[in-house]
Amino acid sequence: MQRHVEARTERFATKAPFVIARGAKHHVDVVTVTVRKDAHSGRGEGTPIYYRGDDCDKALDAIREATPAIEAGARRADLLDLMPAGAARNALDAALWDLEAKEARRPVWQMIGLPEPRPVLTAYTISLSDPADMERQARAVAARELLKLKLGGEGDIDRVRAVRQAAPDARLIADANQSWVGQDIEALCHALHALGVELVEQPLPAGEDAALRDLRPAIPLAADESCHTRADLDTLVGRYRFINVKLDKAGGLTEALALIHAARRRGLGVMTGCMLSTSLGVAPAFMAAMQSDYADLDGPLLLAADRMGGLEFSGSDVHPPHAALWG
């Protein structure tokens, strides 16, 4: 029987406004793909990356354009040449992984050659706001082991100081979301290091990373918007010490696994992150997170309601996906 591809858009409300330096989100629109063959079906989800001009309509168009090749038998590796990186390719790639696992009656982690999965520590995001509100957010989740703070430039030290007061025992990482233009990055990192911040993501806009080359920040810097696929890596060495791997940026788990391997060869550390997404979108990222130094897979926790049968979160950990969900 020939494969059959189905794709649609779904909207999920956020639990509270999700605020970063680029603005606030009250919902997320995702593209969901199902690939059927015989008695089996595989599912995948992608969140279009709006700052790159992507949206669900464009993702659906890309999936429709690739559908004849997928239905004719194109494999995951073929997608790397068939489609550009992005949410559409990620959703199709995840659906094909899921389908292959069901056809082979083997979980994806075995197909990759990973050890049996165990729960992974995930960061929990504190949205950008004024110090008092970020302190309030942090106090509500102070028992979590790892918090990720969304920063915005002016006033960031006060924001982090307020979170530290509310959560004195939590580990902290921060995401500047390209907002530190015109800031003294070394001085900011020195001050944040004193407050226990371990890592700072993307201080400057993508494309302006050359300004980081001669810096000696007290905290390691991680490339997020500046790192999508393996093609970006050579420009990041000497500017960043970590990369943030997101499946929607990489265009799927297939490329993400290759990206992690290539980053390690260059001496870069790895964080696995996610866009706002449901458990279906995060499940494939768990396989990448198993090979990472940091995981930021809290997307489903930030939604008003996840998909039924979603991932299990307990304490500060996210548990491996079960077969009924994905993989």
Would you please indicate which residues are annotated as catalytic (active-site) residues? 150, 246
d(CA 296, CA 286): 10
| H, E, C per residue of the chain | CCCEEEEEEEEEEEEEEEEECCEEEEEEEEEEEEEEECCEEEEEEECCCHHHCCCHHHHHHHHHHHHHHHHCCCCHHHHHHHCCCCHHHHHHHHHHHHHHHHHHCCCHHHHHCCCCCCCEECCEEECCCCHHHHHHHHHHCCCCCEEEEECCCCCHHHHHHHHHHHCCCCEEEEECCCCCCCCCHHHHHHHHHHCCEEEEECCCCCCCHHHHCCCCCCCCEEECCCCCCHHHHHHCECCECEEEECHHHHCCHHHHHHHHHHHHHCCCEEEECCCCCCHHHHHHHHHHHCCCCEECCCHHHHECCCCCCCCCEECCEECCCCCCCCC
